[in-house]
Amino acid sequence: MKLYNYFRSSASFRVRIALELKGLGYAYLPVHLVKGEQKLEQYGAISPAGLVPTLETDQGELIGQSMAIIEYLDETHPQPPLLPADALGRARVRALAQSIACEIHPLNNLRVLKYLVRELKVEEEAKNTWYRHWVRSGLESFEQELRRLPAATYCYGDTPTLADCCLVPQVFNGQRFHVDFGGLTRTMAAFEACMKLPAFQRAQPANCPDNEG
């Protein structure tokens, strides 16, 4: 398999975590978002939307969107599972994951932040305030959802799930922007539990070949 991705992309990070958790080898193909490589014609043939990540399967099929990629990996390589065995559990985990992937992340990805600065002429600190507000607000809701669930090591249960694949990259990026994580007890406990696992450590941006420090 090949993964077209960028080291700081939280969507790419999610997929790297899933690949590592499942022990799947892959070729790392960097697409530098800041330099605009996602807009080049050759990448447009791979991703018409110009987004990362894109997974190329062993059969040469291309799959975009991190959540779809992770569920594909979970269906084709079911061990260890990233979704619970029961329908309600799967719904709970998907809801947690989507609260990050669909509610928090779209407001704060690179192209949105660039638009704020370049097109709307928002000052750098105002842009950072925007980022911190939406991440903090979203994670406060995430925390409340976790508190409605039984006590667990990770977001849901005692093994990592799709929800953890989404949470860890969001916290990583939030740390770069100095988001306040105070009071998010369940959320940060899940994050810290994940980061004790080699799979999460290997997937982090610091270990990517295109990491620029």
Question: What digits encode the pLDDT tens for the residues 155-187?
Answer: 999 999 999 999 999 999 999 999 999 999 999
Structure tokens at 160: 């990592």
Entry pTM: 0.94
Domains of the chain, with CATH numbers?
A: 2-80 (3.40.30.10), 87-199 (1.20.1050.10)
* pLDDT tens readout for residues 46-75: 999 999 999 999 999 999 999 999 999 999
Rounded Cα distance between 117 and 129, Å, is 13
> Which of 1, 113, 103, 3 has the alpha carbon at shortest distance from 47?
3
Cis previous bond, 53, omega within 30: yes
Pairing relation of β-strands 54-56 and 2-5? antiparallel
